[in-house]
Chain A
Amino acid sequence: MIQIIQSYGTMILAALGQTLILCLLSLLVAMVIGLIFALLNVSHNRGCNFIGTVYVDAVRGVPLIVLAYFIYFGLPAGMKMLGAVDFRLTALQAGTAALSMNCGAYMAEIIRAGIQSVDRGQMEAARSLGLTYGQSMRKVVLPQAIKTMIPSIINQFIITLKDTSILSVIGFPELTNMGKTISGNTFKSLETWAIIGIVYMVVIVSLSKAAKRVERKLNVGRL
């Protein structure tokens, strides 16, 4: 065990760095996707509702691993048929796309539920003063919705962090991929996977502890 840490420690940390980069990038994009599709879903326009529902259903209905294969292998193949022979995606690009699409669909549902948890009277009062729908959303409804969303968002962050491991299948050099390499080289599966597991656990537990603290701070006073 100590031997593995001595010879592979820096590589494990580098792989953890890759995992975190992939996770953070995906979360950022997922927040934007989530907000857009949540707003489509709560709008009073049927066309918008339809687009929102189709996206959420489609992405949630496909396993992440299939989505990753589709984007990483399928998309370039499709582009080739269309004539774009040079089209290539890096594992980071494809991974970020797959993970943020996936996480974005769940985020859309979380944000939609958050918006709908705000009493209708808040929107009505804002509209009755002459504010537009967008102004009312931004200034009144969303700030209140965010509070109820925070626990679910943290939960989704943790799921997404763990889901990065699935992207080892497209060769992205993240933590789980590193585990495969190490156990292949050393034949010490037990030790290797124990170490990899512990690294995930330490990161996730400390993140969720920090998030809990933020949550508590936000809930002081108001509401």
Chain B
Amino acid sequence: MVKENAKIMVHVENLKKDFDKLEVLKDISIDIKEGEVVVLLGPSGSGKSTFLRCINRLEEATSGKIIVDGMDITDKHTDINKAREDIGMVFQHFNLFNNKNVIDNIMLAPVELKKMTKEEAHDKAVKLLERVGLADKAEAYPSQLSGGQKQRVAIARALAMNPGLILFDEPTSALDPEMVGEVLDVMKELAGAGMTMIVVTHEIGFAREVADRIVFVDGGYIVEQGTPDEVINHPKEKRTIDFLNKVL
């Protein structure tokens, strides 16, 4: 849900990323507004995930500029840890902390980074677990959860820091088909609540229903972007049409 005159949450300018000789991102520029839900579509190897990982500097940009909520991510002098507190991330393989139970997974960052007292973090974690429908799993360890449950905990963990933006890196790709729905439902609820989200996914249905904007990426460039109706129902570029023909 993008409000009128919403501020720019993410500003990316001429982003380039090489891995040694391999150019993954060639020239990406995009502005994303607060509250906007942007879905990145594109064939595998097109650079979607790399783009996402550049935004919180899990990958260092080769050149170009990334500004998130006023913080210059590409500037070496920026305190990246401080910046990351405001940028949640949800991973394809969940990456829950295996040595901690569910509630401790969620409480770790707020407590360790002195954002909240233990009590506050605990209350918040309990509320978040209710929100993702896992109030009864607080004491469980990650190994005792299904994939869908793990991913919902991972979303709760990201939310615990009250981020202004959440990055989703193929959040349902590692799930059994029957668990995809429960994770997408949580993401829909988040989108409805006004969270700024950048989502890399292959779930065209989700993109159609929830995205404010769809960005089609291929070969390290943004090939085409627009509303779901524009990109999915009336694509203009040949590469977009080819891709959609394969996945739809």
Give the chain B neighbours of A119 by CB distance below 8 A: 93, 95
Give the chain B neighbours of A126 by CB distance below 8 A: 97, 108-109
Nearest CB on A from B85, distance (A): 4
Alpha-carbon separation in the docked complex, A222 to B144 (Å) = 9
Contact A128 B58 (CB under 8 A): yes
Nearest CB on A from B124, distance (A): 14
Contact B97 A140 (CB under 8 A): yes
Contact A223 B95 (CB under 8 A): no
Closest to A140 in B: B97
B87 lies within 8 A of chain A by Cβ: yes
B245 lies within 8 A of chain A by Cβ: no
Give the chain B neighbours of A124 by CB distance below 8 A: 58, 91, 95
Alpha-carbon separation in the docked complex, A190 to B64 (Å) = 78
Contact A130 B84 (CB under 8 A): yes
Contact A131 B99 (CB under 8 A): no
Contact B99 A129 (CB under 8 A): no
**What is the interface size of chain B, counting residues whose CB is below 8 A from a CB of the partner?**
28
Closest to A125 in B: B95
Closest to B111 in A: A139
A47 lies within 8 A of chain B by Cβ: no
Give the chain B neighbours of A121 by CB distance below 8 A: 91, 93, 95
> CB within 8 Å of A: which of B46-101?
56, 58, 81-85, 87-89, 91, 93, 95-100
The answer to whether A127 and B58 touch (CB under 8 A), given A121-B93, A121-B95, A144-B99, is yes
A221 lies within 8 A of chain B by Cβ: yes
Contact B82 A130 (CB under 8 A): yes
- Kindly identify which residue among A122, A128, A135, A223 contacts B143, using a CB–CB cutoff of 8 Å: A223
Alpha-carbon separation in the docked complex, A176 to B87 (Å) = 61
B20 lies within 8 A of chain A by Cβ: no
Contact A135 B112 (CB under 8 A): yes
> CB within 8 Å of B: which of A114-166?
119, 121-122, 124-132, 135, 139-140, 143-144
Alpha-carbon separation in the docked complex, A38 to B56 (Å) = 27
Contact A122 B113 (CB under 8 A): no
Nearest CB on B from A44, distance (A): 11
Nearest CB on B from A202, distance (A): 36
Nearest CB on B from A106, distance (A): 25
Give the chain A neighbours of B95 by CB distance below 8 A: 119, 121-122, 124-125
Please list the residues of chain B having a beta carbon within 8 angstroms of any beta carbon in chain A. 56, 58, 81-85, 87-89, 91, 93, 95-100, 108-109, 112-113, 141, 143, 154, 157-158, 161
Could you pull out 27 A-B pairs where Cβ atoms are within 8 angstroms?
A: A119-B95, A122-B98, A124-B58, A126-B109, A127-B81, A127-B84, A128-B58, A128-B84, A128-B87, A128-B158, A129-B84, A129-B88, A129-B108, A129-B109, A129-B113, A129-B161, A130-B81, A130-B82, A130-B109, A130-B161, A131-B81, A131-B108, A131-B112, A144-B98, A144-B99, A222-B98, A222-B143
